[in-house]
């Protein structure tokens, strides 16, 4: 059946005396949408920061395709095919949409100084390939007509989609989205929903999602992990999690 | 609102009064060994009171004045150029025209004008270099003059001790300045904004003080004089050949000696260097590395999450920017024939930074334009003598109030997509 892509075991992150994440384990298989939910301040984003190398976890192992990535630098991890977005839009606002897409492909380009200065055939070919890939993904998220616009001038929903396109153009295996639906209107959320499913079904990548929009989470997730106060609370299929007594307690409080 | 405006105006008028009294109202005279304080004349007091009144009312009605100014059309520098010249097809012709004019012009202009133009070209080189660091990579560098000094002293010392020629030292100066840029880059990798500015400011001072105190090698405050001038394939521009067996330019071409040949020759070297740098940096901006610099300025965290190595990107910006300054420094030393730490004080860094900000961060044409303005204006304002720096400051204030984005803000390159 499907292979194990990401295998996190006993992930713990301490800041001084504060335990932000305590013994979280999670698995993501190929072509799977997995969500992480939990009340505010539960440590979801800290988990993301640990996985993507922005923090070095205090304990635990993070295996990507059987390779230990805990402790690697952030840019090394993203080069291994694990790319993330952020809770707040982080675009290169004063650069154009297409430039945003080209920056993301930095490591796929010919970055040799001389070949660029002399415009060697290899350099030109790689630039043109990068442009094609950028155009392809802009078309996928419906932003092709805005290619030469400044990214900061796009509408909020468009900026969110550009962020996903910018991640996808790096050709990741696992896309981690941190609250992608935050601030979107119902229509835009529905489009996002369709886009995420399309990424899994047609582009065969896995997606790890943090989200507060329960409609979105329950609708598209293959499996869900619940975290509360840094500690894993429950996990399973959406139906199981929805009716789990501990989860209800964590979200609604007791009686 | 009116009340606070009134207090504001009173306060501003008070400040003006105090400043005016101290600077114009009283005068110290020495009589023998004693100092006597002398009051201003009635006419001067009239001017002071007039000035205070102007400040008071302009503060009181600042809103109205601002809104009146807001209605004025903003001068758009980009619209001064006719539309027909802006089309892509015209660009190579326009460029060729500018280059030809730059090459022919010195033969008709006066010696002083050519010399001033050469100085302008040096500032253009420096501006282009700092533009990479500040304008593109967004790293505020207040000690840029250090690399300029490294470049200048590299040539001066190599020429003095080893007799190396200008043309050999030019790449060496750039390389050594690049090395210094690289070394400075390491400790400041984690710094941004104000903190970075302070460290680079300190670095600039360290280099200057080092040059000032390392008397045995650099000559200290006395500087180094008699630095060899550049030669044209071994032809010297002096009246008599300085080195044994060398020929002079005028003797070789069998024309009468004129000192303006040397000035024009230096100018032409500067033109070639500037064109070379513009081409080089223009390519870099459009390459992955140039885009990475800008991305780093926009959002460092997003860069990291996309697999960009910020260490490499920052260091490359520092290194390439510094090597440009080294280039300019080498040429500066050759042109002056004399250098001392005096030439590399903080105000130089400030002027170069002003060129970049005034021109429009990241914009190459803007930087060139600003460098021209910043070197030619002080020359024109020579009559005002001690008020020169005051006018200079006023220009800055007006510019930042009126056109904070700079003379010619950077235009985003429009890329052609090959649509399937």
**Rounded alpha-carbon distances, angstroms, from residue B10 to A176, B25, B47, B58, B160:** 59, 20, 18, 11, 61
- What confidence tens digit (pLDDT) does each residue in A52-80 have? 999 999 999 999 988 999 889 999 999 99
Q: According to the model, what pLDDT value does residue B44 have?
A: 79
Q: Are A148 and A98 in contact (CB under 8 A)?
A: yes
- Map tokens 């009635």 to a residue: B42
Per residue, the 3-state secondary structure of chain B, as one string, reads CHHHHHHHHHHHHHHHHHHHHHHHHEEEEEECCEEEEEECCHHHHHHHHHHHHHHHHHHHCHHHHHHHHHHCCCCCHHHHCCHHHCCHHHHHHHHHHHHHHHHHHHHCCCHHHHHHHHHHHHHHHHHHHHHHHHHHCCCCCCCCHHHHHHHHHHHHHHHHHHCCCHHHHHHHHHHHHHHHHHHHHCCCCCCCHHHHHHHHHHHHHHHHHHHHHCHHHHCHHHCEECCCCCCECCEECCCCCCCCCCEEHHHHCCCCCCCHHHHHHHHHHHHHHHHHHHHHHHHHHHCHHHHHHHHHHHCHHHHHHCCCCHHHHHHHHHHHHHHHHHHHHHHHHHHHCEECHHHHCHHHHHHHHHHHHHHCCCCHHHHHHHHHHHHHHHHHHHHHHHHHHHHHHHHHHHHHHHCCCCCCCCCCCCCCCCCC
Closest CA to B170 of B318, B341, B340, B324: B324
- What confidence tens digit (pLDDT) does each residue in A74-90 have? 999 999 999 999 999 99
Q: How far apart are CA A233 and CA A244, in angstroms?
A: 10
Q: Is B132 on the interface with A (CB under 8 A)?
A: no
- What confidence tens digit (pLDDT) does each residue in A84-139 have? 999 999 999 999 999 999 999 988 887 677 888 888 888 888 888 999 999 999 99
Helix (H) or strand (E) holding A123: helix A121-140
| pLDDT band with cut points at 50, 70 and 90 for residue A254 | low
Residues of chain A by 3-state class (helix, strand, coil), percent to 5: 40, 25, 35
Q: Is B299 on the interface with A (CB under 8 A)?
A: yes
Indicate yes or no: CB of A147 within 8 angstroms of CB of B415: yes
Residues of B in contact with A96 (CB under 8 A): 412-415
Residues 6 or more apart whose Cβ sits within 8 Å of residue B163? B228
- Map tokens 């910020």 to a residue: B310
In angstroms, the separation between the Cα of residue B297 and the nearest Cα of chain A is 8
Q: How far apart are CA B185 and CA A49, in angstroms?
A: 27
Residues of B in contact with A79 (CB under 8 A): 307
CA angle (A30, A176, A138) in 5-degree steps: 95
pTM exceeds 0.90, yes or no:
no
User: In terms of CA atoms, which chain A residue is nearest residue B307?
Assistant: A75
Closest CA to B24 of B39, B34, B36, B37: B39
Q: How far apart are CA B340 and CA B165, in angstroms?
A: 20
Which among A86, A102, A166 has the least Cβ separation from residue B291? A102
Neighbours of A135 (CB within 10 A): 20
Q: According to the model, what pLDDT value does residue B76 have?
A: 58
Residues of B in contact with A78 (CB under 8 A): 304-307
Q: Is B288 on the interface with A (CB under 8 A)?
A: yes
- The list of chain B residues with pLDDT below 50 reads 420
Closest CA to A212 of A32, A36, A4, A12: A36
High-pLDDT (> 90) share of chain A, %: 58
High-pLDDT (> 70) share of chain A, %: 98
Residues of A in contact with B418 (CB under 8 A): 128, 131-132, 135
Q: How far apart are CA B55 and CA B57, in angstroms?
A: 6
- What confidence tens digit (pLDDT) does each residue in A177-221 have? 999 988 899 999 999 999 999 999 999 899 999 988 888 888 899
Q: According to the model, what pLDDT value does residue A1 have?
A: 46
Question: B95-402 adopts what CATH topology?
Answer: ABC transporter involved in vitamin B12 uptake, BtuC (1.10.3470)
User: In terms of CA atoms, which chain B residue is nearest residue A80?
Assistant: B307
In angstroms, the separation between the Cα of residue B30 and the nearest Cα of chain A is 60
Residues of A in contact with B307 (CB under 8 A): 75, 78-79, 83, 104, 106-107, 170
A56-83: b (≥16 Cβ within 10 Å) or e: ebeebebbbbeeebbebebbebbbbbbb
Q: According to the model, what pLDDT value does residue B296 have?
A: 93
User: In terms of CA atoms, which chain B residue is nearest residue A105?
Assistant: B306
Q: Is B300 on the interface with A (CB under 8 A)?
A: no
Spans of all domains in chain B? 2-59, 95-402
B336-369: b (≥16 Cβ within 10 Å) or e: beebbbebbeeebbebbbbbbbbbbbbbbbbbbb
Q: 3-state DSSP call for residue A159?
A: helix
Residue A24: DSSP 8-state: E
Q: Are B128 and B364 in contact (CB under 8 A)?
A: yes
Indicate yes or no: CB of B307 within 8 angstroms of CB of A170: yes
- ipTM of the modeled complex: 0.89
Q: How far apart are CA A207 and CA A212, in angstroms?
A: 16
Residues of A in contact with B411 (CB under 8 A): none
- What confidence tens digit (pLDDT) does each residue in A10-28 have? 999 999 888 999 999 999 9
Question: What are the start-end ranges of the E strands in chain A?
Answer: 4-15, 18-29, 33-37, 59-64, 67-68, 82-84, 174-178, 206-210, 223-228, 231-236
Q: How far apart are CA B401 and CA A122, in angstroms?
A: 47
Q: According to the model, what pLDDT value does residue A27 have?
A: 92
Mean pLDDT of chain A: 89
In angstroms, the separation between the Cα of residue B361 and the nearest Cα of chain A is 12
Spans of all domains in chain A? 1-81+173-255, 91-171
Q: How far apart are CA B395 and CA B375, in angstroms?
A: 13
Q: Are A82 and A176 in contact (CB under 8 A)?
A: yes
**Rounded alpha-carbon distances, angstroms, from residue A134 to A106, A214, B85, B256:** 12, 32, 32, 63
Q: Which of B288, B294, B300, B363 has the most A C-beta neighbours within 10 Å, making it the best mutation to test the interface with A?
A: B288
**Rounded alpha-carbon distances, angstroms, from residue B362 to A148, A225, B99, B133:** 18, 46, 22, 9
Q: Are A38 and A59 in contact (CB under 8 A)?
A: no
User: In terms of CA atoms, which chain B residue is nearest residue A170?
Assistant: B306
Question: A1-81+173-255 adopts what CATH topology?
Answer: Rossmann fold (3.40.50)
Indicate yes or no: CB of B292 within 8 angstroms of CB of A84: no
Q: Give the residue numbers in A contacting B (CB under 8 Å), as ranges.
A: 52, 54, 73-75, 78-79, 83-86, 90-96, 98-99, 102-104, 106-107, 109-111, 113, 116-117, 128, 131-132, 134-136, 144, 147-148, 150, 166-167, 170
Q: Is the dihedral of CA B3, B9, B12, B18 positive or negative?
A: negative
Q: How far apart are CA B149 and CA B332, in angstroms?
A: 9
Indicate yes or no: CB of B288 within 8 angstroms of CB of A116: yes
Q: According to the model, what pLDDT value does residue A35 have?
A: 93
Q: Are A130 and A108 in contact (CB under 8 A)?
A: yes
């Amino acid at each position: 059946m499907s292979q194990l892509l990401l295998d996190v075991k006993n992930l713990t992150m301490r800041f001084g005396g504060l335990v932000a994440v305590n013994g979280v384990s999670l698995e993501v298989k190929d072509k799977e949408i997995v969500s992480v939910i939990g009340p505010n301040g539960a440590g979801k984003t800290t988990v993301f920061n640990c996985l993507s190398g922005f923090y070095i976890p205090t304990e635990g192992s993070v295996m990507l395709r059987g390779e230990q990535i805990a402790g690697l630098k952030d840019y090394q991890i993203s080069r291994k095919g694990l790319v993330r977005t952020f809770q707040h839009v982080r675009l290169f606002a004063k650069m154009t949409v297409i430039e945003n897409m080209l920056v993301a492909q930095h490591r796929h380009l010919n970055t040799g100084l001389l070949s660029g200065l002399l415009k060697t055939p290899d350099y030109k070919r790689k630039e043109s390939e990068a442009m094609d890939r950028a155009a392809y993904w802009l078309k996928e998220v419906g932003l092709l007509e805005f290619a030469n616009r400044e990214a900061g001038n796009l509408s909020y929903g468009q900026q969110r989609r550009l962020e996903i396109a910018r991640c996808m153009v790096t050709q990741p295996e696992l896309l981690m989205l941190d609250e992608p639906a935050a601030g979107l209107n119902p229509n835009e959320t529905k489009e996002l929903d369709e886009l995420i499913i399309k990424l899994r079904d047609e582009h065969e990548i896995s997606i790890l999602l943090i989200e507060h929009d329960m409609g979105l989470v329950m609708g598209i997730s293959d499996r869900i992990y619940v975290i509360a106060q840094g500690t894993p609370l429950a996990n399973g299929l959406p139906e199981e999690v929805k009716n789990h007594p501990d989860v209800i307690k964590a979200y609604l409080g007791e009686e | 609102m009116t009340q606070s405006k009134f207090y504001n105006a009173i306060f501003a008028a008070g400040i003006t009064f105090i400043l005016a009294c101290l600077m114009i109202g009283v005068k110290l005279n020495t009589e023998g060994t004693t100092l006597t304080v002398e009051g201003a004349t009635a006419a001067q007091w009239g001017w002071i009171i007039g000035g205070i009144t102007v400040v008071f009312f302009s503060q009181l009605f600042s809103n109205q004045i601002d809104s009146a100014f807001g209605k004025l059309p903003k001068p758009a520098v980009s619209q001064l150029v006719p539309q027909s010249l802006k089309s892509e097809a015209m660009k190579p012709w326009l460029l060729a025209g500018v280059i030809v004019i730059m090459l022919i012009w010195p033969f008709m202009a006066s010696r002083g004008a050519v010399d001033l133009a050469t100085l302008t070209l040096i500032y253009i080189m420096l501006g282009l270099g700092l533009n990479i660091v500040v304008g593109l990579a967004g790293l505020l560098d207040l000690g840029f003059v250090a690399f300029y000094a490294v470049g200048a002293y590299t040539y001066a010392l190599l020429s003095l001790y080893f007799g190396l020629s200008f043309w050999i030292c030019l790449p060496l100066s750039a390389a050594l300045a690049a090395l210094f840029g690289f070394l400075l880059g390491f400790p400041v990798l984690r710094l941004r904004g104000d903190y970075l500015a302070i460290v680079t400011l300190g670095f600039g001072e360290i280099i200057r003080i080092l040059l000032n105190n390392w008397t045995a090698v650099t000559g200290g405050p006395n500087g180094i004089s008699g630095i060899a001038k550049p030669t044209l394939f071994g032809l010297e521009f002096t009246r008599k050949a300085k080195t044994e067996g060398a020929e002079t330019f005028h003797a070789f071409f069998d024309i009468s000696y004129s000192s303006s040949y040397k000035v024009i020759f230096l100018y032409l070297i500067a033109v070639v260097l500037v064109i070379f740098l513009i081409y080089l940096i223009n390519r870099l901006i459009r390459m992955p590395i140039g885009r990475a610099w800008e991305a780093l300025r926009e959002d460092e965290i997003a860069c990291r999450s996309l697999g960009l190595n910020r260490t490499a990107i920052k260091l490359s910006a520092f290194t390439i920017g510094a090597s440009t300054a080294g280039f300019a420094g080498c040429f500066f030393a050759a042109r002056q024939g004399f250098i001392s730490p005096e030439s590399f004080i903080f105000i130089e860094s400030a002027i170069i930074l002003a060129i970049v900000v005034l021109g429009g961060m990241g914009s190459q044409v803007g930087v060139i334009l600003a460098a021209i303005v910043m070197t030619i204006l002080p020359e024109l304002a020579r009559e005002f003598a001690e008020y020169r720096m005051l006018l200079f400051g006023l220009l800055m204030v007006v510019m930042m109030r009126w056109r904070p984005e700079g003379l010619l803000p950077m235009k985003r390159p429009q890329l052609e997509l090959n649509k399937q």
